[in-house]
Amino acid sequence: PGMAGGFLLEIRRGTQSALLVIRYEAGLPSSAVDVSVAADCLEVRRGESREAAALPAEVRLVPASCRGLLRLPGEGLHLRMRLRRPPPSADLIFTLRESLKPQKNYVFSCQSCGDVIVKDRKFLRVLPLPSENWSALVEEWCCHPDPFARSTLYPQHDDCFLGDTFFLLNSGNESHKSKENTRVICKRCKTMLGETVSSDTIKYYVTEVTIRPSERSFSPTPRSQFVQSMVAQILVELSSAKSTFRFTVTGDNGKIYILMWLLNSDTLLVESLGSSSSHSVFTLFGDIFMPSSGPVGTWSAVKVLYQPCIKSRNKDIADAWENDIGVHPLKFPSETCMELLLILGLSTASLPPSLRYLNSFQVRNSCY
């Protein structure tokens, strides 16, 4: 059986350390609670009643290492401890570069409604594009005028070019263009999928399109789960490849919506909502990520700090980051930027209040 209040366990794989938050009803006197932590389970006693929750098989604690015990009203008990052994490493991240291979047939669909955008397309070449600010670096390497000033990197019909947050396809016979502007929209649900960059080239954003081999059927994924998973993958990939940890999230209208700072990507989250009929206490992912079976869920996650920039909020910081070469820009449709901001806010609100802020930034865990 699950514990009435449930618990939240945030593990760092690299340091084999964990923060444990054991929840219980806010009005319950502390003297009425007796908490026991074993290597493989947690137990709470209230008088004659006893409630326990087993930890996943890959997580084993060292009870003797408990330290920093703190009781916070409305949250429960906080304590830190070490793990007996490191949890298994996270699964290899499913990136766009790994999902697209030459000489195979693919179907591209709108992520929101599943409508087919491109059917049975086979590529002879799948090539990564240079970073979006590559042309600015040319001046540092060339002692003569930019030789690439008039060059464009557009795909031929059998090419697929991959960027950080988008991919470029030759439009061929597909026609999802809006005649009023360069926005490319889904015919069925009218979601913005991308934009035209030339007369025969379309930029599709990775947050708007799903790609699958032609022999597989469309399998829907909840929108918020897909967006945060895709953004988390992008952050991890860019931080690993370029040692970049600060990002601006910009809409297709050129406005900065969010500032994000990646803290770590080795987090393992274990959560139980408990068996209480009242879940007014915080929950990490709500209904989206709760396990379909069993009382305990486990997720790999990244931890980020963020600042919203809508309605001119944090304009000074946004201006400074925009002009900082150490900050990497990420561009998405403006509607998706607002979706992401909402997801960030809901995740922050689901954390214990004492863990929601670090200095002036808000904290958020994002699963992938």
Digit-coded pLDDT (tens) for 87-142: 887 765 556 667 788 999 999 999 999 999 998 899 999 998 876 656 556 666 67
228-256 pLDDT tens trace = 989 999 999 899 888 899 999 999 999 99
357 pLDDT exceeds 80?
A: yes
User: Domain-by-domain residue ranges, the chain?
Assistant: 1-88, 96-213, 222-265+297-367
The pLDDT score that the predictor gives to residue 318 is 95
Q: Residue 8, class by beta-carbon neighbours within 10 Å (0-12 exposed, 13-18 middle, 19+ buried)?
A: buried
Task: Indicate whether 164 pLDDT > 50.
Answer: yes
- Return the pLDDT at 253: 94
Rounded distance, CA 46 to CA 27, Å? 13
Question: Which pLDDT score is estimated for 217?
Answer: 86
The pLDDT tens digits for 273-318 are: 665 433 434 444 444 444 444 567 888 889 999 999 998 899 999 9
- Residue 1 pLDDT more than 60? no
CATH number for the region 1-88 comes to 2.60.40.790
What length does the chain have?
A: 368
- DSSP states of 107-140: EEEETTT--EEEEEEE-SEEEEPPPTTHHHHHHH
Per the prediction, the chain carries an average pLDDT of 83
Give the confidence band of 26 by pLDDT, cuts at 50, 70, 90: low
Handedness of CA 301, 357, 348, 351 (dihedral sign): positive
Q: What is the pLDDT of residue 293?
A: 40
pLDDT at 285: 41
pLDDT above 70 as % of the chain: 80
What mean pLDDT is predicted for residues 72-92? 84
Say what the pLDDT of residue 32 is.
66
Where do the DSSP E strands lie in 41-176?
A: 41-46, 49-54, 61-72, 76-83, 105-110, 116-122, 125-128, 159-162, 166-170
